[in-house]
Structure 1
Amino acid sequence: MNPSLDPVTVLKGLIQDFRQLWRELLIFDVLFQLVRAWLIVPLIAMALSFLLFKAGRVAVSNQDIFNFLLSPLGAAYAVTLSATTAVLILLEQAGMLVVIGMRHRPQSAPLEGGHDRLTPLMSSFWRISRLGLLKLSVLTLLAAPLLASAYLTYLVLLTQHDIYYYLTVRPAAFWQAAIAGTILLATMTVCGAFLLVEWLLALPIVLFETLPARSALAASRQRVRGARSRIALLLLCWGGMSFGLGAILTAGFQYCAEMLLARLGQDSVPLLASLLIVQSGLIGFASFLSNSAISLLIHRVYHDISGSDHPLREIASSAASRSPDHAVERFTATRVRIAAAVTVTVTILVPVGFWILLAERVATRGTVLVTAHRGSAAHAPENTLAAIQRAIDIGADYTEIDVHQTKDGVVVLLHDRDLRRVAGDSRRLSQITFEEVQKLDVGRWFSEEFAQTRVPTLTEALRLCRDKIRVNIELKVFGPSAELAEAVTRIVREEGFESHCIITSLSDEALNQVRQFHPRIPVGIIVGQSIGDVNRFDVDALSVRADHLTDEMIRSAQQLNRQVMVWGIKGERQINAQLRRGVDNLIASDPELAIRLRDRWRDACDRDRVVMGLQILLGISQETTNSALEND
């Protein structure tokens, strides 16, 4: 094996190469990211939107998404998204390899113009694309049986009871499934790492030797034979260094920022803006360094194993005769400064300016409402009268409750499909009469204080809420939805709650049935994940999981005069972030905290809102800065 693959030797070489090439690599990385963000990604989004438009439907539930992906248009959507992602990753690496291949050496010099630099990349575009598709196809074939095994494990071990029982109680079946999933994940990781080593040289072979994709993969496997363990060690070192650098930069910046804000004032706009610029620079630097390091590593391994220079040396040498070294250096330095200025403008000033302008628009939307999730489930058993009373006592605007039917058709409050988690009874609600349900204790699991708490009916819940709090009624559809939708709308009408509630569900079919039975009752679609434009649903509100909610969803919904409700939020930082985005309703597990932060946001002046927005972008809350000052 070639002794130059010794990790210490390779590391020294990488440092030397980076010192020579960091300017050129930075220019390419910045330009590539800008082109991808402002040209390539929008074009891909347009293509995917066209496919979704042709499909004529929007998928929000897991089953809907699964069924869509199995359809011809759904398969085309998945292939398009996966293929473009794979090709973009390879194109970025290929561009850096071209820059590295023209490294400044005594026999060569950096190229004077961008045209000569891009020629090898553009001429290899289709071969690079085919390489990405071939890699993706092999990985898909490899992952298919493992994913099928994971799904079979889920069916065997995790379907006897409601999934929330397994996630909350974590019985033996949960740990058996976790062990099986860990083994499958480890198998996929090992296989993926093996292929990463086997395919490491395929891209430079395609780029520099103009071999087709299939031949390049075969050539790469042949050349790394006998050096796999050393290459794997080098890749492991690269991964560890990248992760370690990111962790160190994040922790160091967080600590320094919290201390500065605690000492100098966390409401200083210049200080917050300066910290935001530094944070963005550190994130960009860590990403650039990681991308550059892997490209430098691939090139060095390729050069050492192949044992000869590739054709780009001749191009670089001819360029050297056309431009003196000092002119090239000046030109390169100028481009670095321009690239840095463009990056700062696009990635920092534009978002900050957008958020500042957003403050006035958000203020005109009125007070953000707070919904207590499943009642105040942090302080009382969920979906009980005690939890609803707690939500009333703390001053929440809404209480969210989950409803479905007993065997004899009574609408009661219960989240899960069965009663295993809250009452220790494995039977499904649809298999039990209301009289049997009333005998079960659904409070002792939470605390002895709530022993002998019973499952309430929807009628009881609405009577408790009358003139005190509005109600978000979620339809839990575990079968045919028409009977449940009709029963709920009938109860809402009988109790006179049409203008004091909203009915939500994951099932668009159930909401359409609510519309048919009673058009005056507001309805909202619940979105945990989705494929397609959720604003195409005929609803009055969107109830979206926080990490899936986009600014485009908010903008489109509010243009259509629809409420935007957000769930899955925890802690001060996440709640403040959603307030800043301009949502209409916070569905919070800790409604007391949400109310306190909502009131602070409502009473803040424009300057204070700008300060809070900058703090959110920095990921720093008032609690953390106060804690930092106390610990100092």
Structure 2
Amino acid sequence: MKVLQDVFASYRASLQFLAPFTLIHLSIRLLAAAVIVPVSGLVLAAALAASGQNVVTDQDIAWFLLTPVGFAGALALISLSIVASVLDVAVMTDTLRRQEHRVPRALLSGLGLFLGRFAGLFAFALQLVLRVLLIAAPFLLVGAAIAWLALGRYDINYYLTYRPPAFLAAAGIGAVLLAGLAVVLVARLSSWAIALHLFLFGRVPPRRSFAESARRLQGQRMQVVWRIVVWALLRSLLFALVASIAALLVSGAQQLFGANLRVLAFSIVALLLLWGLANAVVSAFANGALASLLERLYREATGDVPESTRVVAGRPLAVGALPVLLLLGGAAVALGGGLYLGGSLAERVSAEREVEIIAHRGASVARPENTMAAFEQALVEGADWIELDVQETADGEVVVAHDSDFMKMAGVDLKVWDATMADLAEMDIGSWFDSAYSGERTPTLREVLLATKGRGKVLIELKYYGRDIALEPRVVEIVEETGMSADIAVMSLKIEGVRKMQALRPDWTHGVLAATAVGDLSALDADFLAVNTGQVSVDLIRRTHAQGRKLYVWTVNDPVTMVRLISMGVDGLITDEPALARQVMEARNQLSAPERLLLWVSDRFRLKSFDLVAEEADA
């Protein structure tokens, strides 16, 4: 009961300071965007430059982080992120301790505290990161060792597809390790709950503040944990309430404004901006409650009560002119933003667009992936491109295979680089999907190119597992012998492989495939980029197009997401369902602009589920 009372009291205290807290929250976010984010960008750029690169992707990120420069850069970036995260609570705590309701003075006082102690705050954040890493390291190392021993024999896709006993055992052990790590971290973090207060207000050095916090809170850790849990639950409920209201308003916008696209676009963008403002107010309210909760905990543990502290419980909420002005100002900004951004949004959704449909490993939902059946079906379904993966066999042939072995496709423990064409001729790679495809065998790149010639284009992904011998020149030879040079493109996750192909055939179309990246993807020297849906943004599309490059997105199988991405301006969809993608593209061009806009917003903000395919069928 005391836990609930303390948490509710903290939210009530935060409500008394809602105006200064909201301005503090917005100002800190602006400060982070104006100072901390650019500084972080400079740190990242410096770290990449020191390594001789301007961007690293996928597995290269891990190797980069293991270098001294990469590790130091990562520590600096994480520490800066923590500083940005705790600024809200730190400045709000200062406001609570001063009982400063005057908004400008609260903000200036808090920022003065931050600026005066920035170096110490950074040192505090760095100490926190290092301590968490030291705690997590044994668990992570044991987990990595178990994964290597239990899951290292076969390709990971086999384990993910079939989930054999070894996978389940490793997953179970991993879950136990994660639970153990969570228990240890919660115990340690709860004991450090007032470490920041001890540094900022108790003048305890960052290095000593953690041990001092643990000493002061000895025997109170569970109380701290429960307080934070209840605070977080209330915070989540508040955000869910705001999101529900926003969803209702956006969903009803079309009924209010009919088919007037420009008014609809303005109204939806304005509503989304107001939603953002409401989220900012809720964030300020919740962060203020956390500041009050931790300040109360700090006072109880240390007996430190500032002279200016007065009891705020029961104090009437003074709603002066400033909160009203803030609300009106926010509404004005939302309206202005809606007018500015709505025009651009309206232009994007108004245009009828054609994008390239790229069949991911063929029509891999309808047929077994990377088989002649899948490629033939993709052509029948109207794919512009067939995407496939190539590797070398033991006898020097270039074959189509994604995984490092044949466990998933055939249940055969044989690595691609150890297989011969005689081995592959006996290996059924279709029955895992359906017995009707028992006759499917691993195709060669040559076979696919000849079958596709005159009917479509082929996007060749070079796969590297550290056993390639002459993959790039062999691909060049096969493409030229089949007369397909004008109808292929080459890409890879490994930038070095793309560079080799560019050196061999600079006039071909080359692309970089990126699942994750550190740095500016649009700066990569390639004809196109292929990114996952989580990376794509209007800004990335603009920057990529400004460089004269195309942007493809993978792997897109949801109809509503397809509509959003097409409207955003991507150049191609890499999909397991090429027929669906073409159907959606054609259906999108037949939709009214307001309908396209609602589909975009619904998918981007997960506001509502639309059954676009069902609507097409009904039509």
Give the TM-score, by structure 2 length: 0.89
Could you say which residue in structure 2 is the equivalent of 1:333? 323
| Alignment match of 2:198 (pick from 173, 193, 205) | 205
1:357-403 CA distance string (max 9 Å, x none): 5568x87xx62111011000000000111111111111111111111
Structure 1 residues 85-96: aligned runs within 5 Å: 85-96=81-92
Structure 1 residues 69-218: aligned runs within 5 Å: 69-103=65-99, 110=102, 113=105, 114-218=107-211
User: Relative to structure 2, which stretch is displaced further, 151-160 or 54-63?
Assistant: 54-63
Is the aligned partner of 1:573 residue 2:560? yes
1:164-192 CA distance string (max 9 Å, x none): 11111111111122112212211221122
1:591 positional shift:
2.0
Total equivalences in the alignment: 608
Structure 1 residues 211-360: aligned runs within 5 Å: 211-247=204-240, 249-250=242-243, 254=247, 258=251, 268-269=264-265, 272-273=268-269, 275-277=271-273, 279-310=275-306, 313=309, 330=320, 332-333=322-323, 336-337=326-327, 340-341=330-331, 344=334, 351-356=341-346
Is the aligned partner of 1:26 residue 2:22? yes
Does the Cα contact within 8 Å between 1:124 and 1:206 map onto a contact in 2? no
Is the aligned partner of 1:599 residue 2:592? no
User: Relative to structure 2, which stretch is displaced further, 13-22 or 454-463?
Assistant: 13-22
| Alignment match of 2:458 (pick from 456, 468, 471) | 471
User: Relative to structure 2, which stretch is displaced further, 113-122 or 259-268?
Assistant: 259-268
Is the aligned partner of 1:16 residue 2:16? no
- Whole-angstrom distance in 1 between the partners of 2:320 and 2:233: 35
Does the Cα contact within 8 Å between 2:274 and 2:334 map onto a contact in 1? no
The AA in structure 2 aligned to 1:143 is: A
- Whole-angstrom distance in 1 between the partners of 2:125 and 2:498: 43
Structure 2 CA distance for partners of 1:463 and 1:400, relative to 1, 3 Å = same
Does the Cα contact within 8 Å between 2:389 and 2:400 map onto a contact in 1? yes
Could you say which residue in structure 1 is the equivalent of 2:365? 378
1:233 positional shift:
1.4
The AA in structure 2 aligned to 1:219 is: E
Structure 2 CA distance for partners of 1:551 and 1:275, relative to 1, 3 Å = closer
Give the 3-state SS of the residue equivalent to 1:225 in structure 2. coil
Structure 1 residues 399-410: aligned runs within 5 Å: 399-410=386-397
1:384-434 CA distance string (max 9 Å, x none): 111111111111111111111221112221111101001110111211211
Is the aligned partner of 1:413 residue 2:409? no
- Whole-angstrom distance in 2 between the partners of 1:304 and 1:385: 72
| Alignment match of 2:447 (pick from 446, 460, 467) | 460
The AA in structure 2 aligned to 1:529 is: T
The AA in structure 2 aligned to 1:43 is: V
Structure 2 CA distance for partners of 1:265 and 1:283, relative to 1, 3 Å = farther
Aligned-residue CA RMSD in angstroms?
Answer: 3.3
Structure 1: gaps spanning 5 or more residues: 318-324
1:342 positional shift:
7.2
Structure 2: gaps spanning 5 or more residues: none
Could you say which residue in structure 2 is the equivalent of 1:51? 47
- Whole-angstrom distance in 1 between the partners of 2:390 and 2:78: 38
1:7 positional shift:
1.4
- Whole-angstrom distance in 2 between the partners of 1:616 and 1:14: 36
- Whole-angstrom distance in 2 between the partners of 1:258 and 1:337: 23
| Alignment match of 2:3 (pick from 4, 7, 25) | 7
- Whole-angstrom distance in 2 between the partners of 1:481 and 1:612: 44
- Whole-angstrom distance in 2 between the partners of 1:334 and 1:250: 22
| Alignment match of 1:435 (pick from 397, 401, 422) | 422
Give the 3-state SS of the residue equivalent to 1:404 in structure 2. strand
Does the Cα contact within 8 Å between 1:198 and 1:228 map onto a contact in 2? yes
1:117 positional shift:
4.8
- Whole-angstrom distance in 2 between the partners of 1:525 and 1:117: 46
1:511-543 CA distance string (max 9 Å, x none): 233233333321111111122333444322111
| Alignment match of 2:64 (pick from 68, 77, 80) | 68
The AA in structure 2 aligned to 1:305 is: A
Could you say which residue in structure 2 is the equivalent of 1:322? none
1:568 positional shift:
2.7
Give the 3-state SS of the residue equivalent to 1:474 in structure 2. strand
Give the 3-state SS of the residue equivalent to 2:503 in structure 1. helix
Structure 2 CA distance for partners of 1:276 and 1:86, relative to 1, 3 Å = closer
1:58-85 CA distance string (max 9 Å, x none): 5645442222112232123212211101
The AA in structure 2 aligned to 1:134 is: Q
- Whole-angstrom distance in 2 between the partners of 1:492 and 1:580: 34
Give the 3-state SS of the residue equivalent to 1:569 in structure 2. coil
- Whole-angstrom distance in 1 between the partners of 2:283 and 2:598: 27
User: Relative to structure 2, which stretch is displaced further, 380-389 or 109-118?
Assistant: 109-118
Structure 2 CA distance for partners of 1:17 and 1:516, relative to 1, 3 Å = closer
1:240-272 CA distance string (max 9 Å, x none): 333344445545654675577689869754664
Does the Cα contact within 8 Å between 2:390 and 2:402 map onto a contact in 1? yes
Is the aligned partner of 1:556 residue 2:556? no
1:355 positional shift:
3.1
Structure 2 CA distance for partners of 1:627 and 1:223, relative to 1, 3 Å = farther
Could you say which residue in structure 2 is the equivalent of 1:544? 531
Could you say which residue in structure 1 is the equivalent of 2:31? 35
User: Relative to structure 2, which stretch is displaced further, 206-215 or 372-381?
Assistant: 206-215
Does the Cα contact within 8 Å between 1:498 and 1:520 map onto a contact in 2? no
The AA in structure 2 aligned to 1:344 is: A
- Whole-angstrom distance in 2 between the partners of 1:219 and 1:349: 53
